[in-house]
Amino acid sequence: MAGKVLVVDDDAGVQRLLQQTLRAEGYEVVLATEAAEALRLWQSESPSLLLLDATLPGVDGYDVAARIRGAETAGKHVPIIMLTSDRDVSQKVRALRAGADDYLVKPFHPAELLARMKALIARFAAGESLVGRPPMGRVHAYYGAKGGVGTTTIAINTAIALHSLDRSVVLVDGNLQFGDHRVFMDLANDRKSIVDAVNAPTMDSDLLKGVLQTHESGVDLLLAPPSPESADLVTPAHMHEILRVLASMYDYVVVDIDKRLDEINLMVLDVAETIFAVMTADLSCLKNVRLVLGTMGHLGYASGKLKLVLNRSNAYTGINVKSAEGALRQPIEYQIVNEYRGAISALNTGAPFMAAKADSVLGRSVMDFARDIDKAPAVSLAQLQPGTAR
């Protein structure tokens, strides 16, 4: 069985359609038509997920979701997808505030429903599977020496590669104003983001589980705000606390940040176990890398905290690896091959190559990079203790 789903809807036609769709995918289906029955079955059947109609007779679906969230014990969270015919954004916000993890407007395509269900079930089941094995809590920052060097592409695909090594991984889009993870991973603009976390009164793992999105690759995502202006709602203290909590939940916290050295990015660099500075072998990038290395030295970072990653290493630029290392006076520890067509195709389709074409030349190169990272010894994360944010 793929899991047990509690369908709560008073429309017999909708019940029949959902039952047929879910059973064809291997799910066990439990049916309820009103709130009291739904709450009773939630307690007695322990479903893997609820499909909850918003407009139930008497007590509506919003109230049912709120009651479930209020009654859940610590460490327990059943995913809820709210179903409604109302396209009004205010109703979507109401559903999310009531405790729903996702929201679908009727009529919807069964494939979309199943994709969202599988992502939610995988996310919360993954959290339970870690019981008995404490997460490594390794925070890695990916920093581009300049725009266009492929930092986001490497961060996303390395996260997927690490997950394929049986590691729990969360990917944080730290480019708060203009994050690209939604586009690169084909996610709608209505998905929850970091703003939903910082607006909550307290920050803990249960809250973040409700905000994180699970990609079909199995990697969990903390998305950037949907609009540039809402990025101002996130403070360095918020980001520090988010990284601290995520480090207690996952083996790897992969943070993709832009090249600005503002307060939030400096805080991320401070708490990261390792900083992977992504570069290409051209003069303007080498100039920027030298400035970055100087800045890291002034910040007093330990030797070896910053690792250089040469992207598109086999592209002809007139500057070879040895010459670049001589100019920078630092070794280039990692190299990712150049396969422009594969990379640009992945970007344009929203399908990361490590998920769609892991056996490609580029995929094998990133896989080797991930294996090397995973072999490296972990560093103490004392800097992630509460109260040490900038």
For 184-240, what is each residue's pLDDT tens digit? 888 877 888 999 988 877 788 888 988 999 888 889 999 999 889 999 999 999 999
Residues 20 and 121 occupy one common structural domain:
yes
Residues 156 and 7 in one domain: no
Q: Please report the pLDDT score of residue 385 as a whole number.
A: 57
The candidate with the shortest Cα–Cα distance to 224, out of 91, 232, 273, 205, is: 232
- 93 within some domain: yes
CATH of residue 92's domain is 3.40.50.2300
Report yes or no on 390 lying in a domain: no
pLDDT at 2: 67
Using CA atoms, how far residue 121 sits from 47, 57, 118, 379, in Å, is 10, 27, 5, 32
Beta-strand relationship, 138-144 and 274-279: parallel
155 and 69 together in one domain? no
The confidence score (pLDDT) of residue 384 equals 58
Sign of the Cα torsion 65, 95, 109, 121 reads negative
Number of Cβ within a 10 Å radius of residue 193: 26
Tally of domains within the chain: 2
How do beta strands 274-279 and 220-222 pair? unpaired
Looking at the structure, tell me whether residues 146 and 54 fall in a common domain.
no
Same-domain check for residues 79 and 21 = yes
Same domain, 254 and 275: yes
Could you tell me if residue 389 is inside a domain?
no
Mode of pairing for the β-strands spanning 220-222 and 213-214: antiparallel
**Are 327 and 369 in the same domain?**
yes
Decide: 142 and 174 in contact? Cβ < 8 Å. Answer: no
Residue 373: inside a domain, yes or no? yes
Strand partners of residue 307: 276
Residues 216 and 353 in one domain: yes
Range of the domain at 305: 138-384
Cα 9 from Cα 271, distance rounded (Å): 47
Q: Which of 106, 129, 152 is a domain's end point?
A: 129
Domain boundary among 129, 152, 179: 129
State the Cα–Cα distance between residues 61 and 7, nearest whole angstrom: 11
Q: Is 194 part of a structural domain of the chain?
A: yes
Instruction: List CB contacts of 336: < 8 A, sequence separation 6 or more.
Output: 150, 154, 309, 310, 311, 312, 313, 362, 365, 366, 369
Assigned domain for 75 exists:
yes
Which residues, at least 6 apart from 309, have a Cβ–Cβ distance to it below 8 Å? 154, 276, 277, 278, 279, 332, 333, 334, 335, 336, 369
User: 116 lies in a domain?
Assistant: yes
User: What is the reported pTM?
Assistant: 0.68
Q: Are residues 71 and 166 in the same domain?
A: no
Within a domain: 330: yes
Residue 360 CA, chain-centre distance (Å), reads 24
Confidence at residue 382, expressed as pLDDT on a 0 to 100 scale? 46
Supply the pLDDT for residue 45: 93
Q: Using CA atoms, how far apart are residues 64 and 69, in angstroms rounded to an integer? A: 9
CATH number of the domain enclosing 250: 3.40.50.300
Residues 6+ apart with CB under 8 A from 172: 194, 221, 222, 242, 243, 246, 253, 254, 255, 256
Examine the fold and report which residue of 75, 98, 129 is the final residue of a domain before the chain moves on: 129
Query: How many whole angstroms from its chain centre is CA 147?
Result: 22
Regarding whether 330 and 247 lie in a shared domain, the answer is yes
Same domain flag for 311 and 375 = yes
Residue 146 and residue 7 in one domain: no
10-residue mean pLDDT series, the chain (390 residues): 87 92 92 94 94 92 93 84 85 84 87 84 63 77 89 94 92 93 85 88 84 89 92 93 93 94 92 94 90 88 90 77 88 88 76 85 93 81 52
